[in-house]
């Protein structure tokens, strides 16, 4: 059995006035919870470049004013996973959210920042309070 390791993720909160874009997860790891765009940081990639790339790859949206807001250290014992996630925020610039990675999420939906769904992916329970 391989030795467990820590992965580095980038989560990207896309803000559009009083709304935030969230996607419903369909993967087995915390299925049916809501999260923003994001994935793993690639070797040699800046946080900002990763955020911009992931937003476009997953939704087709263009964003601006990308900035780091917080990092979380999350353990998922059931899945034997450990992630440090660097959270970025950005502003919506243009485009219509598209489901470009249907193997990861079933839909994208804009939520009012003050009326978020109850079933948020674990790290988001911690950080979405920052945008209210």
For the cut 80, the answer to whether the pLDDT of residue 128 exceeds it is no
CA pair distance 130, 75, nearest whole angstrom: 21
For the cut 90, the answer to whether the pLDDT of residue 22 exceeds it is yes
The CATH number that domain 7-131 falls under is: 3.90.79.10
- For all residues of the chain together, what is the average pLDDT? 88
What confidence score (pLDDT) does residue 31 get?
81
Query: Between the CA of residue 46 and those of 20, 29, 53, 86, what are the distances in Å?
Result: 23, 26, 11, 11
Which residue shows structure tokens 């935030």?
20
What confidence score (pLDDT) does residue 72 get?
87
For the cut 70, the answer to whether the pLDDT of residue 120 exceeds it is yes
Which residues is 34 bridged to in the sheet?
A: 24, 120
Q: Is the whole-model pTM more than 0.95?
A: no
Which pLDDT tens digit goes with each residue over 48-74?
Answer: 999 999 999 999 999 999 999 999 888
* Domain range summary for the chain, segments of one domain joined by +: 7-131
């Amino acid at each position: 059995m391989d030795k467990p390791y820590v992965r580095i993720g980038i989560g990207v909160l896309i803000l559009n006035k009083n709304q935030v874009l969230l996607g419903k997860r369909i993967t087995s790891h915390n299925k049916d919870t809501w999260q923003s765009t994001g994935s793993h940081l690639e070797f040699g990639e800046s946080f900002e470049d990763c955020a911009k790339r992931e937003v476009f790859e997953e939704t087709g949206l263009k964003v601006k004013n990308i900035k780091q807001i917080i990092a979380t250290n999350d353990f998922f014992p059931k899945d034997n996973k450990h992630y440090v996630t660097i959270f970025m925020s950005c502003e919506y610039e243009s485009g219509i959210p598209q489901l470009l990675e249907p193997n990861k999420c079933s839909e994208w939906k804009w939520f009012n920042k003050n009326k978020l769904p109850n079933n948020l992916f674990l790290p988001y329970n911690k950080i979405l309070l920052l945008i209210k």
